[in-house]
Amino acid sequence: MGLPEDRAVEQAPEESIAVVEPRAVARTGLLRMLRRAGFRSTRGFESLVRIPTGETGPGVVVLSLELEEVGVQLSAFRSAAPKSRVLGLAYGRMCSEPVLALLPLLDGLVQTVTPEHLRVAIGCIRGGHHYFEGGVPADVWRRMAPGTRPPLLSDRERQVLRLLGEGLKDAELAARLGCSVARAKALVRAVLRKTGSRNRAQAATVGVREGWVG
């Protein structure tokens, strides 16, 4: 049974989600994913210009970056609906130049489009935070204008970075963080990737140099 498009269902307008995808089949698939992720108030559109703004506008826009003239449309939409949060779908082109150029206009960006990824990302940006799947690479982050940079490291990752400066082993790190050793290793990998570091010592040095740790 197909999902209704351009029709809100059962929630207040400020909680609604607009899906912008020019391909009808892909748009229907995204609406289904959102329903599976637990979102009920969803609407589908083929372009940003068709979305109502103002009090009737969506709280979140899930935007396919395959849209023609996406930068022009997105810039105009952000001016008309500054309170709406925008989650971009990169479809595997996370670090391509056209996608990176849009980062200042996005509240979040995902390339793995699944119900779980959408649920986590939308929950994050609804809470007023940025969400960039896998993090924005450090070299890309540094090229962005300071006022448009999303947080490079989460609070938890900053804590890991501080502890790396103490030279802790995995088991010691896990004990200090109150998590499993496997989780501690995953956090270290994320910190190394986001800081562009080859090892823990380099990450700790980068953290001090960039002012990410006190």
Please list, in sequence order, all residues whose beta carbon lies within 8 angstroms of the beta carbon of residue 39, skipping any fewer than 6 positions away: 17, 119, 122
User: Is pLDDT at 142 greater than 70 in this prediction?
Assistant: no
Task: State the chain's mean pLDDT as an integer.
Answer: 80
| 5-51 residue pLDDT tens | 433 333 334 468 999 999 999 999 999 999 999 998 899 999 999 99
Residue type, position 101, single letter: A
Better pLDDT: 96 or 67:
67
User: Is pLDDT at 2 greater than 70 in this prediction?
Assistant: no
Better pLDDT: 64 or 195:
64
Residue 31 CB burial class (10 angstroms; 0-12, 13-18, ≥19) = buried
Query: Hey, what domains does the chain have and what are their CATH numbers?
Result: 13-147 (3.40.50.2300), 155-210 (1.10.10.10)
Q: 211: pLDDT confidence band, cut at 50, 70 and 90?
A: confident
The pLDDT value recorded for residue 140 is: 60
Indicate whether this model's pTM tops 0.75.
no
